[in-house]
Structure 1
């Protein structure tokens, strides 16, 4: 076979993805435009940052985590000034801070350059995530990835934090699993967990479907590869920078109830009086109950659920019961929500709720100490309409997904004759264990 004969089909397969890549680049560019008022000086004034809705963690953390002068894990800095992220993100921050220091002598200029470099990586991550999602969705539903490319909430939240990196890795993991490349899927999953912790929820989804189908070897290969990849990037820091490495885990455990969480509403209203320990216990218990329900659903459904459906339900349960629900967490859920149920009406309703929350959080912070600008901000009751708007709209989407699992004929993906576009070894697999089999 000649080189020409190989290249032609590859190019032909790539052409359908080109428009989606352009739309993703448009979304990444719009996200940059949203924060231009801050990039040109607004970050140095909190009121301007909030009134222009252009806040990002990237710029202030360059100073607050002492990236301008120190290594985030090895530096002898106070514990609360160490980077509170897993090691992949921490080292991305370190490398870009080195480049920014090399390019700019002034620290303020360095911070802006650090932001620009980070945004380039995040923009590329969005484009990669969209293309990978389109590949997972398959030819008949490729354009569903447009939601991830230019959804309003994605554009608004894209550059608040580094979440898009984990999003690209998660989509890569899903595609590798769909293509039955278990080692690659495991490596990408391990790296995703070492970037942001939420991809850990996908382990449970894979386990439940493995239990139902008894396809244990692919699952174990993937989990072994994930553990190996996670250890490779974590062990050096565990050995040589223990305090810096454990900062993320200590911070996650000790962090109190924060913005966006429904638990903040109950604390604010005193219904009932909740201490930090109570919320941690209730949060874990609520997540355990929801995960148990997802497990029962997976094993009791008349037809094996699709992998994206279980991933979506598990991730949504994690977000709704967490102690913090930052605006950028929408980036976690969008691709899985669309793959789970690509119906535009509930997705559009959810996007409206996310946009309202994005506006509400910054207006609410304007009215809180130390700014206390009641003339510019909003009060508790208005803010909590946005908090519950997200909970309710995601709950509606979860209910539709559960309905599709219990009544597979309603699943628009399967109506096209597809069993599971992301299922890999699960696709068209025979049931080996269900709850109904226990009664026979």
Structure 2
């Protein structure tokens, strides 16, 4: 999003080019929505094989969790897994009456997710009596978010949206967990900033002021924080963008401190408004979800560099290992955030524009790299940044190939551990390849995202035409 001027056509040619642009955009939307529907349908068909009759106690399918052991795409889905053990199957309203036991087990309707994700699970369980019905209801809740993400990315990046709608991650993870709503808040926040920066044909000015657009985006990020936490981190680079917008590097008096504070306040008040009812009505249940995450160990099901790396140097999951992970993980996450913000500031000093979207992507890469939990479905978190930012295609390809290898081996690994069957060399190799290729790419993206240019037409939003220039070049359509 830039304020640099570009030329625009006038008269009858402008009308023809506008109609052609609309036709092009309609084609992009049709293709991207169709591919989104097909990939999500494929995802549904792959995951539903873990469900279906006959059902055991508490509505658990007898097919769970294996399904078809020969299927390329594993049928495992957290949506079905969560049906039992958190009172979702008993239709208990979440957080209000529950807690956590001394041995770390949740009870009374508490789930280990932020409150809005818990509410989605409760809604998905309404009218459901089996894990399969719960999965099907959840799918209907998730599909609109997947389509909304597609539409927003299409308007901002045109054909690059196919990186989202027509690649394996949407098949693998659309209905694996509650990722689509939180991704929608991130893409929505960026889309609000993008739309607000476009120039109104009636006034020749921005549709929304920078402050107004940023406050709306901050509210969406705060909603995302109440779904899966990570969008809340993006309020910091967004505030930095507002702070520096229109300012000359080095001129402190021109910095918009009031606007930056309003962004932070809007996000904070939104989080309080969402969290406060649960804190008042069931503080112990609300706190239990936080306590669960704090007590969670970095073991095989967290799938992080700590388990597959540090564990080998501490003699296994010893007290030393758990202490080091508990110390190093948050410290390195905070350090990566500080590095991302600093790198963004250097770009601002050089170019005069704070690259807040790139800094958001960099912060996310650092969080995913160093957090003690790295679930495969987090690929849906970072995928929109591959769409929005000009990242080298070998990097994207390496990440997506490694992700496919990881997904198709890690859930087989869980099955081998559970059953006590002999380990298959290709399974353990695939998991390690997926984990470590992801780690290397994320370390690279921690630096690369910040300086990566935006894709078109997102990069051209906000550019004002030069009225005195001859008509020659069209604004990207």
Normalised TM-score (structure 2): 0.75
2-structure distance, mates of 1:380, 1:199: 32
For residue 221 of structure 1, the aligned residue among 220, 242, 262 is: 262
Shift of 1:221: 3.0
For residue 335 of structure 2, the aligned residue among 289, 294, 297 is: 289
Compared CA separation, residues 44 and 64, structure 1 to 2 (3 A):
farther
2-structure distance, mates of 1:31, 1:232: 35
Structure 2 counterpart of 1:4:
none
2:150 is the counterpart of 1:130: yes
Shift of 1:200: 1.6
For residue 366 of structure 2, the aligned residue among 309, 313, 317 is: 317
The residue correspondences of 1:93-104 to structure 2 (distance < 5 A) are 93-100=121-128
Compared CA separation, residues 298 and 367, structure 1 to 2 (3 A):
same
For residue 87 of structure 2, the aligned residue among 38, 60, 66 is: 66
2:391 is the counterpart of 1:333: no
Compared CA separation, residues 204 and 182, structure 1 to 2 (3 A):
closer
Deviations 1:68-103 (A, max 9, x none): 222221234654232111111111111222232xxx
Structure 2 counterpart of 1:277:
323
Compared CA separation, residues 235 and 314, structure 1 to 2 (3 A):
same
Q: SS in structure 1 opposite 2:111?
A: coil
Normalised TM-score (structure 1): 0.81
Is the contact made by 2:403 and 2:438 (CA closer than 8 Å) also made in structure 1? yes
Structure 1 counterpart of 2:186:
170
Shift of 1:290: 1.8
Report the count of equivalent residues: 396
The residue correspondences of 1:357-368 to structure 2 (distance < 5 A) are 357-368=406-417
Is the contact made by 1:283 and 1:323 (CA closer than 8 Å) also made in structure 2? yes
Is the contact made by 1:28 and 1:158 (CA closer than 8 Å) also made in structure 2? yes
Shift of 1:279: 0.7
Q: SS in structure 2 opposite 1:132?
A: helix
2-structure distance, mates of 1:393, 1:401: 11
Larger Rg: 2
Structure 2 counterpart of 1:15:
26
Is the contact made by 2:237 and 2:359 (CA closer than 8 Å) also made in structure 1? yes
Q: In terms of mean alpha carbon deviation, does 26-35 or 162-171 score higher?
A: 26-35
Shift of 1:291: 2.0
Is the contact made by 2:77 and 2:177 (CA closer than 8 Å) also made in structure 1? yes
Structure 1 counterpart of 2:77:
56
The structure carrying a bigger helix percent of its residues is 1
2-structure distance, mates of 1:331, 1:26: 17
Structure 2 counterpart of 1:156:
172
For residue 25 of structure 1, the aligned residue among 37, 42, 54 is: 37
Gapped runs of 5+ residues in structure 1?
1-7, 101-106, 406-410, 429-440
Coordinate RMSD, CA, aligned = 2.9
Compared CA separation, residues 307 and 77, structure 1 to 2 (3 A):
closer
1-structure distance, mates of 2:69, 2:425: 9
Shift of 1:119: 0.9
Structure 1 counterpart of 2:346:
300
Compared CA separation, residues 206 and 50, structure 1 to 2 (3 A):
farther
Is the contact made by 1:130 and 1:148 (CA closer than 8 Å) also made in structure 2? yes
Structure 1 segments, 4+ long, off by >6 Å, are: 8-14
Deviations 1:27-63 (A, max 9, x none): 2112112213213357644344765411111112122
Shift of 1:284: 1.5
Shift of 1:247: 2.3
Deviations 1:105-141 (A, max 9, x none): xx33xx2111111112212211111111223x2xxx3
1-structure distance, mates of 2:230, 2:36: 23
Deviations 1:353-372 (A, max 9, x none): 1101111211221232x312
